[in-house]
Amino acid sequence: MEEQLATFLTSQGAYHIGIGLAAIGSGLGLGMAVSKAMEAMGRQPEAAGRIQTGMIIGAAFIEALTIYALISSFIRM
Amino acid sequence: MLEGTASMSILYSVIPNVVLQAGEHLASQAASHAADQTATAQAASAHPPELPNFVHLLHEFFPDSSLFYNLWQIQDLVFIVIIIAVIAAFFSAATRKMSIIPRRLQCMVEMIVEGLLGVVCGILGEKNGRRYFPFLGSLFIFIICMNWFGLIPFMKSPSSNILVTASLAICVFIFVQFTAIKRLGIKGFFFHLMGEPRDAVGWAMVPLFLPLHILEEFIKPLSLACRLYGNVYGEDVLLGVGLVLGIGMVAVVWPGTFIGVPLHLPFVLLAILLSAIQALVFTLLASVYLSMVMPHEDHDDEH
């Protein structure tokens, strides 16, 4: 069992699962960020442009974490 | 799989060997799935599939030609030159006969420039936004063209190479540092790096903050480059995987065919949107990094 686990963790499959885990975290974070931004836009439609810019920047930072996981799997290839 | 009639062989050679071999690999894997799982997985993932481009195809057609081999080695540069030519031709054609009442092309270019100017000015403020717009706006147009170029058949996104995105990020890094020194002065620049201490506690924290801020300045371009590269290359590999799966599915049922199911089509539509967003994010982050080094009296009223 332990040998199989070790083989799996050193194989490519572990990277796929790692990307999936990173995507879960990014998805949760993005969902929270975008829902709050939408609430804020609904409350203050006149500030929608500025909120949207901030939301996109934040989303880029959140989403970069998944991209780092993806890049590390590319490098492993 | 590659054997066939003469007319078939021409069609086969148009589809790159990468895709065909991967389809064959899938078919053989389905036929004999008793092989060593780890070894096959690593063999399949050794070269992530990518869509074909015409430089690669020229190299495949003429394997003996050293010109095409060299072009293939520097394919990203070839596509960058093509993109720059396309952008320059489009914008010079649009701005050749400018008039008060804009015609079709001029109207389109004005729309692009005004939209970008609004985004940049929203972050940097009206005065600074207009001042640094030439750099940031051309960054956006160049990156969005590079990202979208990979969606044209037989073309490749140059931004799916980390060297290209890294050189763009280094441009942003040098521009931001140069602007910081120019706008803040040498003394102000180091004061900014020290976290702008105002009281005794602030000065006491300088040994902690100075290395952190210097490190941060180098992490910014690294993160810019990795984000753009990862997104665009990930998209390209996704399209390639979709294509290989589409060909492999048919090859399992009907071996020896080159017909495939366009499984990558939904991802193309997704890639159009994501490429635009990544170009926007790169420009926005460059503007934000620039706004961080502006003197404070200039942008206090904007935020």
Q: How far apart are CA B11 and CA B258, in angstroms?
A: 8
Write out the DSSP string of B218-263. HHHHHHHHHHHHHHHHHHHHHHHHHHHHHHHHHHHHSTT------T
Count interface pairs A-B at CB distance under 8 A. 53
Q: Which of A11, A13, A64 minimises the CB distance to B223?
A: A64
Q: What is the mean pLDDT of residues A4-16?
A: 76
Partner-chain contact B42 A53, CB within 8 Å:
no
For residue B254, the model assigns a pLDDT of: 82
CB–CB contact B48 A74 (8 Å): yes
Structure tokens at A60: 């880029």
B281 touches chain A (CB under 8 A): yes
> What pTM was estimated for this model as a whole?
0.80
- B-chain residues within 8 Å CB-CB of A6? none
For B41-55, B84-98, B202-216, B241-255, which range has the lowest pLDDT when averaged over its residues? Answer: B41-55
pLDDT at A67: 87
CB–CB of B226 and A68 under 8 A?
A: yes
> To 10 degrees, what angle do helices B54-61 and B6-14 make?
140
For B128-171, the pLDDT digits (tens) are 999 999 999 999 999 999 999 989 988 999 999 999 999 999 99
Of A11, A49, A53, the CB nearest to B284: A53
Nearest-CA distance from A48 to chain B in Å?
A: 12
Closest-approach residue (CA) in chain B for A8 = B38
* B261/chain A closest Cα distance in angstroms: 25
Q: What is the nearest CA distance from A46 to chain B, expressed in angstroms?
A: 14
3-state SS assignment for residue B272? helix
